[in-house]
Structure 1
Amino acid sequence: MDMVGNRVAPLALGPEHVVLFIGTNKIVKDTPEAFHRIKTIAAPLNAKRHTNFKIPCQTTSICHDCKSNQRICNSWVITEKSFPKHRIKIILINQELGY
């Protein structure tokens, strides 16, 4: 998830190799739980970093599906498989990293 898409676009189409360093706090049971985590943890915490933004999730810590032009959750990418095979590599780090 990203505001503009520049951080998620390379997953869908971009460099020959993509390496993701993922903390264990990002591991969830399924896609609905992932969306819930993003909307109640990751996005609000990320929004709070942008002190010049004025969006509802900064104060309520939950997504409001707002229509603000400062909304940070505009572009979503879901990757089910790596194509070509082995293009995307995940390095799982046994600690909580980021949001």
Structure 2
Amino acid sequence: MRKVYGDLNTTVEMVRRNTAPLNAHRLGLEKTPCIKKGTCGDCLQAECICNTIAITRRSMAKDRIVIFLIIEEVGL
């Protein structure tokens, strides 16, 4: 599944709309609106999968983070 969509706002929206419901289902978070509706409900429930969004701009420790970009469809 593609994880980067142009700018940051578009990427976050696509993750909330597409990836979050799939992961919520995978993790058994059946009470969230994204499971019931199939898309992010912008909820504030305790088990909301979108409660934390972490963005790392850069690591202070050299070579601590490695990112692999896979330019093909590989699924979720």
Judge same fold: TM > 0.5, yes or no: yes
Q: Give unpaired runs (5+ residues) of structure 1.
A: 1-22
| 3-state DSSP of counterpart to 1:89 | coil
The answer to whether structure 1 residue 89 and structure 2 residue 66 are counterparts is yes
* Counterpart amino acid of residue 76 in structure 1: I
- Write the letter of the residue equivalent to 1:82: S
Q: Do 1:55 and 1:68's aligned partners in 2 also have CA atoms closer than 8 Å?
A: yes
Following superposition, the deviation at residue 85 of structure 1 comes to 2.8
Look up the match of 1:74: 51
- Residue number in structure 2 paired with 1:14: none
| TM-score normalised to structure 1 length | 0.63
1:41-80 alignment, distance < 5 Å: 41-51=18-28, 53-80=30-57
Whether the aligned pair in 2 keeps the contact of 1:47 and 1:58 (CA below 8 Å) is yes
SS of the equivalent of 1:90 reads: coil
Superposition CA RMSD, Å: 2.0
CA contact (8 A) 1:53 1:70 kept: no
Q: TM-score, normalised by structure 2?
A: 0.78
Q: Are 2:24 and 2:49, in contact at CA under 8 Å, matched by a contact in 1?
A: yes
Q: Which has the higher strand share?
A: 1
Structure 1 stretches (4+) deviating beyond 6 angstroms? none
Unaligned runs of 5+ in 2: none
Q: Contact between 2:18 and 2:39, CA under 8 Å: does it hold in 1?
A: yes
